[in-house]
Structure 1
Amino acid sequence: MDRKIGVVGLGYVGLPVAVAFGKEHHIVGFDINEYRIETLRQGIDYTNEVTSEDLQRATIEFTNNPSSLAEVDFIIVAVPTPINENKQPDLTPLIKASETVGSNMKKGTIVVYESTVYPGATEEVCVPVLEGKSGLKAGKDFFVGYSPERINPGDKEHTFTTITKVVSGQNEEVLDIVADVYSSVVEAGVHKASSIKVAEAAKVIENTQRDLNIALMNELAIIFDKLGIDTSEVLKAAGTKWNFLNFSPGLVGGHCIGVDPYYLTHKAESVGHHPQVILAGRRINDNMGDFVATSLIKKMIHRNMPVQGARVTVLGLTFKENVPDLRNSKVIDVIRELQEFGVDVQVTDAIANPEEAMEEYGVRLVSYEKLLPADAVVFAVPHVEYVSKGWSQFNQLLKHGKGIVVDIKSALDSSLRPSNIDLWRL
């Protein structure tokens, strides 16, 4: 493998990719965020995806100077692909990254995209930008490939090197080179997709499938709540069958499961098909924050607790446990719905950045030690710091140690629940 590698975008996806390659090769790691580059040079990854030891073991030239990309001939693009307020794909980061790459790449370069997109986006959106900025012709002067990212934030078992890598290329020769490059670091091996579109489609349905499975669990949770049945107990019983899939209800946020299906539905509608099952699942999952909040309000009313002016503590704001990423967190839906009822909400998070929380959601994070005793606690994100404290923490978190606990993800053992605490969970 004699390719010189560059990685564009050093976030949750790009950094693990850069580090994996950097342990075997000398590579260039590019990001437009100056603070990100500074901290990485100091051996600090504030996303907690990569350890300081791993950063030290990797040979990476961290830079925010795009001209450094002229030194490489194999460029991996791993930038975010979010949705806008209208739930339409926002390809701005992808287009800007393509402009940067196109302006600085040389003849013979292979550009591989890892960002999640709809089928056709690499060739229809990215290639024209690369051609326009470089003055080179795709398929002749430079080549493209697509290899969907499969990073699971916070997961230390399924990592970049241990997950089979799907690869694709513009032609057979490029596909072989892309496969060869990734094979040099991915221990789990590669799967050669027959085309770039097939690889793009494979990525987008992985998270769509997961989204729909969770949507089914969420709809069941709503039904069982009305029937007065504990969903966790139902799933435990059903799970004894060998082929029952292990999914559970919850808030579906983050930059993958809650976003990717909209890329597929956008493309489907552009070719004249209105997806029904996928969008139905999205509607259910997008509305779960409101359901959690109104369920707590009902509990409070049944206990003759005043709602207006009541204090509710929310434990956790990030989109997922033990991950500091706040993007597209659905906990904010719970907070805002409670505030609509006139509830005084105080929010804490053990690992989120307070400045980011304020910037992203206008939420002021309170340190755990400074939380005022509340009428109810929404255990929204089961960070290990909270789970390890167990039920005893509610002696301090609740007024006089009694009240309501909403355990969204059933992280606490209900059999150990103190008698003076009323528990509600999905």
Structure 2
Amino acid sequence: MDRKHKIAIVGLGYVGLPLARLFATRYPVVGFDINQKRINELIVGVDSTQEISEDLLKLVQIDFNPFETPNKLGLYCSSNYQDICDANVYIVTVPTPIDKYNRPDLTPLYKSSETVGKVLKKNDIVIYESTVYPGVTEEECVPVLERISGLKFNEDFFVGYSPERINPGDKDHTVDKILKVTSGSTLEAGKTVDDLYKSVIKAGTHLAPTIRVAEASKVIENSQRDLNIAFMNELAKIFSLMNIDTHDVLAAAGTKWNFLKFKPGLVGGHCIGVDPFYLAQKAQEIGYYSELILAARRLNDSMGAFVASQVVKLMINNDIKVKGAKILNLGITFKENCPDIRNSKAIDVITNLQDYGAEVTTYDPMADPAEVMTEYGVVCKTHLDQNSQKYDAIILTVAHEQFLNMDIISFQKNHCVVYDVKGILPKHSSHRRL
């Protein structure tokens, strides 16, 4: 296999763009994405995911295909698949969502594999980073590559799997600072994949013995977090019945050296809230019906309704009429300091409060209002005039840094309650925490 790598990154989202930028510091890279709007933004240095700054992006960007110029490094972004035809390493970083029945949706993987198959050549290597259940790379993606390209797996081309570990919004644990798991379809392919990532990942790599091991390692990372958060959420439900502050309990318990410091909250996003379903689905296919994994999913998915009910109870206890009440919801993205709204569980809080008859105003300075309207049918404000509206209740669902410095008191009616899902606001007699 050719060690003079020409790299094509297929999918320029939260995972693909940081990876493309990093590889472009050492190799010629073409970033491919079917979203022309996304390509147009990247060309002028704008990353709507806010993972890469304009200055950092422009440092590596070039306006011509580097594969056509000898010894040229840099990143060229394109929506034309023919621009990646001269690559010899294809890295697929497309999303792997679930459908409305919580079943894995591999459509983006199939489509991207078809695209790569059109340009795949002898001795090329295809590396998948998308989160999947064990077996997807070799059992689902490889047949597509073979069918479209007419080439034979592990004779004409090879594959690898290196699960993404991007943490959206985290400026400390960037892609080069997170140890990378690697794998390959043959010993040589595994070594090639490992050496490739090792050349840019400062934190180092871990070469797994097989692709299936690497796939399994990724899917249990987030399943483990899901289980631990589910335990915290169950504790929050129990302690609320006892009128005990869960965060105070966790602060006390956390003084023990080996206590795991998880917190209760809304579990959404495209990783923790999705990956466990991939593992559970595969387990069911081989005759094992998950109890613990799916129980954790059910519990975590119930938290939006629980938060809404707690807010309503708090309002009633403070003689605040719920029907027609003005409620301010702070945050619609799936996590703090990140503009990503995919699978946000804040929407569950909003819709449940609306079902109680309340009028909910959503404010999130990081979210794209157009995306929020398209995805959830909710008006999202990115600016608030503290002189225009006062509220009967305020809920903090997402811990954006902007909310820490927000003058919440100025938005409160004389009789107002505050419910702090994330436990970041100063304690106050009218405040409650999850």
TM-score (norm 1): 0.96
In structure 2, distance between residues paired with 1:224 and 1:2:
59
In structure 2, distance between residues paired with 1:86 and 1:372:
39
CA contact (8 A) 1:387 1:412 kept: yes
Matches within 5 A, 1:27-426: 27-58=29-60, 59-370=74-385, 372-389=389-406, 393-400=407-414, 402-414=415-427, 417=428, 419=429, 422-426=430-434
CA contact (8 A) 1:221 1:249 kept: yes
Once the two structures are superposed, residues 247-296 of structure 1 have per-residue CA deviations (whole angstroms, 9 ceiling, x without a partner) of 00000000000000000000000000001011111011000000000011
- Paired AA for residue 34 in structure 2: I
In structure 1, distance between residues paired with 2:318 and 2:53:
47
Deviation at 1:157, TM superposition (A): 1.3
- 3-state secondary structure, aligned to 1:399: strand
Once the two structures are superposed, residues 30-78 of structure 1 have per-residue CA deviations (whole angstroms, 9 ceiling, x without a partner) of 0000011011110111101011122122210100000112110001000
In structure 1, distance between residues paired with 2:433 and 2:383:
22
CA contact (8 A) 2:367 2:382 kept: no
In structure 1, distance between residues paired with 2:292 and 2:384:
45
Across the aligned residues of Structure 1 and Structure 2, the Cα RMSD in angstroms comes to 1.0
- 3-state secondary structure, aligned to 1:161: helix
In structure 2, distance between residues paired with 1:71 and 1:247:
46
CA contact (8 A) 2:366 2:382 kept: no
- Paired AA for residue 56 in structure 1: K
In structure 1, distance between residues paired with 2:327 and 2:56:
40
Q: Which moved more, 1:309-318 or 1:362-371?
A: 362-371
CA contact (8 A) 2:365 2:381 kept: no
In structure 2, distance between residues paired with 1:178 and 1:226:
52
CA contact (8 A) 2:198 2:205 kept: yes
Deviation at 1:372, TM superposition (A): 2.0
Q: What is the percentage of aligned positions where both structures have the same residue?
A: 53
- 3-state secondary structure, aligned to 1:377: strand
- Paired AA for residue 412 in structure 1: L
Deviation at 1:369, TM superposition (A): 2.1
CA contact (8 A) 1:5 1:72 kept: yes
- Paired AA for residue 389 in structure 2: L
Deviation at 1:215, TM superposition (A): 0.4
1:17 aligned onto 2:31: no
The change in CA–CA distance for 1:372 and 1:285 in structure 2 (over 3 A counts) is same
Deviation at 1:114, TM superposition (A): 0.1
Deviation at 1:230, TM superposition (A): 0.5
- 3-state secondary structure, aligned to 1:191: strand
Give ranges in structure 1 of 5+ residues lacking alignment: none
Deviation at 1:305, TM superposition (A): 1.3
Deviation at 1:407, TM superposition (A): 0.5
Aligned length: 417
CA contact (8 A) 2:222 2:275 kept: yes
Deviation at 1:398, TM superposition (A): 1.2
Deviation at 1:361, TM superposition (A): 0.2
- 3-state secondary structure, aligned to 1:71: coil
Deviation at 1:333, TM superposition (A): 0.2
In structure 2, distance between residues paired with 1:244 and 1:218:
16
CA contact (8 A) 1:69 1:105 kept: no
Deviation at 1:413, TM superposition (A): 2.2
In structure 2, distance between residues paired with 1:265 and 1:109:
33
In structure 2, distance between residues paired with 1:170 and 1:405:
54
In structure 2, distance between residues paired with 1:388 and 1:146:
42
In structure 2, distance between residues paired with 1:225 and 1:86:
31
In structure 2, distance between residues paired with 1:259 and 1:207:
9
